[in-house]
Structure 1
């Protein structure tokens, strides 16, 4: 394993950890039992990567490395017993989710590139990797998925994946492309959190009145 492969492996573990904590904190808000904590943590950590791997037709990543499951279970149980010690858990959840999103957006695109995906497909796979775990988490917990709210979320994931792909094909080193892509995605998401940025929402308007047709 060369230095870049080691970096990717470390970032994958970090992304799974961030998303597992975000999922477990959502479970704490819903007052679930330990099994519920484990389920929501695992769905959040593995959901997007599982969808990506199935679409690419490659082995599902966490089935090849069972340690990911152990990480999610351990963090879920740790959160179950320690979440009450964390003040303003929703803020921690939001930032943990932002970190996981930034990591997985680029890692998903990088994985798609390794398996021969076209550049546009790599951006799409990165966005899916970063967002679909959170979508599944929110659906299971009966909440509006974060990706469908006005907040800038999927856009930040797409930006991170796009920056990585553009730099990669422009000849930048893979480590440089990964680092800048993650920074770009996280910076946009962080700015949206801190400044309340959001995309414009559709506003209802009166239906257009059509004149009566002559009989």
Structure 2
């Protein structure tokens, strides 16, 4: 179900098509990361579908419940279809063609895009800036957490390398630039790029925050 922002400074200035594309793109890359995790575990096609759907819609579902919005994928078959197509794409692609740490790279794109989308949607439903930022983090992180729990691997959010921080950067920049009155296309582009770049540095160089040692 599409949402209509109710005041300037959110995705209001975007066309409905652009808004849908941001949502679908985030869902697709998350779904691919879920299916890739199933591939690593040598699972069957139904498990591929399950992992793709859980990863693709998990965070967005919780976000919508928290902000009082209709759960989007229950009202629009595009989201579920996107997840199923992503699973099929992974199923029919030889594993040797996927890059090393492919799950992390697709997940990195997903958290940046979906962190911004989740924050924008929360803002559009009248959620104040700080809680809206947190809803962006929820949107971006929970699908990956569900995926890791189902796969029986340590959750990506508790690894030393930056993950939640990258989402918070993307979501926080969206809130800040929106408050400063920047054009939506610039706001979204800068926010997604910054979040992805930070996550990419974490993947390639192991960048992380100091850990508790007391």
TM-score for both structures, normalised by structure 1? 0.89
- When residues 44 and 83 of structure 1 are mapped into structure 2, their CA distance, relative to the original with a 3 A threshold, is farther
The equivalent residue for 1:24 is: 35
Deviates more, 1:108-117 or 1:180-189: 180-189
The equivalent residue for 1:62 is: 73
The equivalent residue for 2:153 is: 143
Pairing 1:17-166 to 2, within 5 Å after superposition = 17-88=28-99, 90-166=100-176
Per-residue deviation, 1:84: 2.6
Q: Hey, what's the Cα distance between the residues in 2 that align with 1:144 and 1:92? A: 17
Instruction: Give the unaligned 5+ runs of structure 1.
Output: 206-215
Instruction: Give the unaligned 5+ runs of structure 2.
Output: 5-12
Q: Hey, what's the Cα distance between the residues in 1 that align with 2:16 and 2:200? A: 27
The equivalent residue for 1:178 is: 188
TM-score for both structures, normalised by structure 2? 0.90
Q: Hey, what's the Cα distance between the residues in 1 that align with 2:98 and 2:73? A: 31
Q: Which has the higher contact order (CA 8 A, sep 6+)?
A: 2
RMSD over aligned Cα, in angstroms? Answer: 1.6
Q: Hey, what's the Cα distance between the residues in 2 that align with 1:77 and 1:87? A: 14
Report if the CA contact (8 A) 2:14-2:184 is conserved: no
The equivalent residue for 1:187 is: 197
Deviation per residue, 1:44-103 (Å, 9 max, x gap): 110110010011111011112111111111221221222434244x42221111001110
Report if the CA contact (8 A) 1:4-1:175 is conserved: no
Aligned residues, how many?
203
